[in-house]
Amino acid sequence: MKNPVQRILVYIDGSENSITAAQYAMCLSKAMAADLTALYVVNTKALNDLVRTRIFLQAEEEEYRMDLESDADRYLKHVTDLAAAKGIRIYTEKRTGSVHGEIRKAMEDTDADLLVIGAIAKIRSRRDEFFDETERAMRMVDKPVLMVKNEKRVLELYDLL
Amino acid sequence: MPLIDLIDEDVIKTPLTSRLKYDVIMELLDVLKQAGKIGDIDQAAKAVFAREELGSTGLEGGIAVPHAKTTTVRDLTIAIGIAPEGIDFDALDGKISKLFFLMLAPPDQTGPHIEALSEIAKITQSSDFVERLQHAESPDEVLNLFRAP
């Protein structure tokens, strides 16, 4: 039987949990000799919603979109540096749109076998279930999803690479 | 970050005592100051009023979302205020505003800032939830509404 995981997609949103997920994905990539892609989604869907509901002015939308684009570049560079430090090759992809929708599309486009995500916040109300983009992605993709927990253990594994 | 993770009883005020737009913003900033959430209240006020000058954040449906980026907060911060009798906040529909979400974010936390504002945007689409918030009589009641299944 060939390795069931050949291409891994890890979703990065800039949170500590997502960086931990990337480090664990690096461990998996090396152990399984699997290709690894890090994805960041600039949430233009949310920006558009804020303009539509008039919380944002058009000028604000543009300013915040540029900020998010910069964040995307910064965090993707960060995970690239983390991978390079361990001699691991990582592909990066920046997309725009709705987060859960773009994660699903990226899984298809990269033909990934596994989606790796950071631990999601504890659900404290029914609304959280609807609003958490990572959780929505987890429910929507039709491939195995791995949620990474225990930052301390992951850091130990990453350090051992 | 879910909105519920940003709020506690210390940052909710109901009813607001102010009757003017300027005073409402200052009252909510004072709530954040008292809760230890902001350092320089004048700097925060300057940022919020600069945004209001570009266009009122008074939306339709009796909701207002004054917001700004400012270095006077270290983390994304929100105050909720309720004025059951309503206040003229220069809302888009010309009607009075009763429910106020004042949000401040440090410049380097754009992602969480957008997420939190986005959640408020979704809340504004639920007239029933907004109605219940506008009639909440205590911070505890507001928190319970956010926690409710």
Give the C-alpha distances (Å, rounded to integers) separating A133 from A77, A108, A123. Answer: 22, 18, 13
**Interface contact A125-B67, CB threshold 8 A:** no
Per-residue pLDDT 10s for chain B (149 aa) are 678 888 899 999 999 999 999 999 999 999 999 999 998 999 999 999 999 999 999 998 899 999 999 999 999 999 999 999 999 999 988 999 999 999 999 988 888 889 889 888 888 888 888 999 999 999 999 999 888 76
Q: Which of A49, A59, A68 sits opposite B118 (nearest CB)?
A: A49
- Nearest-Cα distance to chain B for A44, in Å, is 10
Structure tokens that stand for A132 in this block? 């958490």
Give the active site residue among B13, B21, B67, B98: B67
Give residues 94 to 123 of B whose Cβ lies within 8 Å of A. Answer: 107, 110-111, 113-115, 117-123
Give the C-alpha distances (Å, rounded to integers) separating A65 from A45, A54, A96, B42, B108. Answer: 11, 16, 10, 27, 13
Structure tokens that stand for A21 in this block? 């997920």
- Partners of B103 in beta bridges: B67, B78
**pTM (whole model) above 0.95:** no
**Interface contact B148-A50, CB threshold 8 A:** no
Nearest CA to A75 out of A127, A32, A121, A40 is that of A40
- Nearest-Cα distance to chain A for B65, in Å, is 7
